[in-house]
Amino acid sequence: MSNRDEVVLEMLRGFVPIGDQRRRCQLSRGTKLRLTCSAVLALLLKQFVQIRQLAGWRQVTSTVSEARGFKVQTKGSSFAETKGGFYLSREDVAAFEQTGIVGPFDVLSTEDSAALSHRAEDLHENDFDGKILIGNQIAPIMRRAGLWSINYSGMFQALRFPEFAAVLHHPAITHRLASLLGDDLILWRSQFFEKKPGADGTFWHQTGTFRENSKAQKLVPAADTDPSLVQLTAWVALTDSAVANGCLRFLPCSFEDGRFERMAYELFDNQFGALRGLSYEELMNGVWAMKHTTGNFTKAQFLFDVIVKRIPDLFEHAVIEDIEMKAGQCVIFTSMNMHASYPNITATETRLALAGRYTTNDVRVTAVHDGDIFTTPEGDHQFAKDGIGCMQVHGEDRFGHNTILPRPRIG
């Protein structure tokens, strides 16, 4: 077995194969019939025509090979040697440029982390005092499907609650970010990541400009910025995060190779192209994942199965790093690094984290403030955009591209 095969097997550890997920899924008779008919149609098309020759369908690997050789070329000018504080040393910056990861490092005490975790749980139970910033129409749909969690109710809530804003404004985070991105920084999204006992893992993904469910990328740099440094994520553990309850996993240095993200979006946009060369069983899995599930990570897992076959040297020299963290610790990383998390196999431990996504003021945050797209079991819905914006966390806004909201204050 090659190193690449071993890496792929290790990346899949803890995840249920797509075929098993499909067979376990409770589908109505009508949905099963539509699924079978769609797979048969795709099989017939594959047998009798070359999909790439049909009008509007294109070769999905057209630009994928170009998405290599990315670099983390940091733009920071504030360093520990000159400014003290929590700014990084030049050696630490050089290490980040190699791996795309800083940390874990301490931000909060164990006691403060526990208090914030309980506070977040209480607010979720009360729908964050009756105001869900992604829109109240989404919550009832997700509740009916049994999918509602703080992962959704807590999105952007650092804009309203000073205790969470204070964490994401903490100098231990913002000083380090300034050493990497530059002095003028905004927090463009905050969210919680919760894994209750028995929760599935979060499948491997890679994102540079955060297109996600939108038709266009959310983050648009004013200059030709390498996608590995358009934005950085600070992930703060509010509870202990270990392998058993779902800690983060990374492929350090994988920001250099953006072929996974590029092909994933090309296949997502050209779903018939994604089905080329697949067996009937694989076609069934693909139609189910792409058309009959709402979770982005289920789709990502199916696309992963396709992409590793299409790009035989992908992950060839990768090394997987599991990052366990104590409550109150933080890790900063570029989301162009392939990353995932384990399932929570514990009986009683809930893993909770608060994450901030940061970029520079010259980047236009587009779809978020114009009304983003949220996928539900009952179709796509547009985010409410009232009350959503960015917060200045370091330096100042010299561009005026984005809505900058004041930091919430106690009282």
- Average pLDDT over the chain, rounded to an integer: 83
pLDDT, greater one: 42 or 108: 108
**Residue 57: what pLDDT?**
43
Q: Average pLDDT in the 155-172 region?
A: 95
List the structure tokens of 67. Answer: 């998405």
**Whole-number pLDDT of residue 46:** 56
CA 250 vs. chain centroid, Å, equals: 12
Burial (Cβ within 10 Å: 0-12, 13-18, ≥19) of residue 267: buried
Q: What average pLDDT score do residues 273-295 get?
A: 69
Predicted confidence (pLDDT) per residue in 99-134, tens digit: 999 989 999 999 999 999 999 999 999 989 888 877
| Bridge partners, residue 60, by sequence | none
Q: Which of 27-36, 194-203, 332-341 has the lowest mean pLDDT?
A: 27-36
Select, from the ranges 72-76, 209-213, 310-314, 329-333, the one with the highest average predicted confidence (pLDDT): 329-333
Instruction: Give the β-pairing of 232-237 and 351-360.
Output: antiparallel
The residue-averaged pLDDT of 332-355 equals: 95
Return the residue matching tokens 């809930």: 350
CATH class of the domain at 70-263+314-394: mainly beta
Q: How far apart are the first and last CA of the chain?
A: 61
Q: Which helix (H) or strand (E) holds 284?
A: helix 280-291
Give start-end residues of each CATH 2.60.120.620 domain in the chain: 70-263+314-394
| Nearest alpha-carbon partner for 85 in 166, 202, 5, 175 | 175
Confidence of residue 305 (pLDDT cuts 50, 70, 90): confident
- Single out the residue of 262, 203, 193 nearest to residue 234, CA to CA: 193
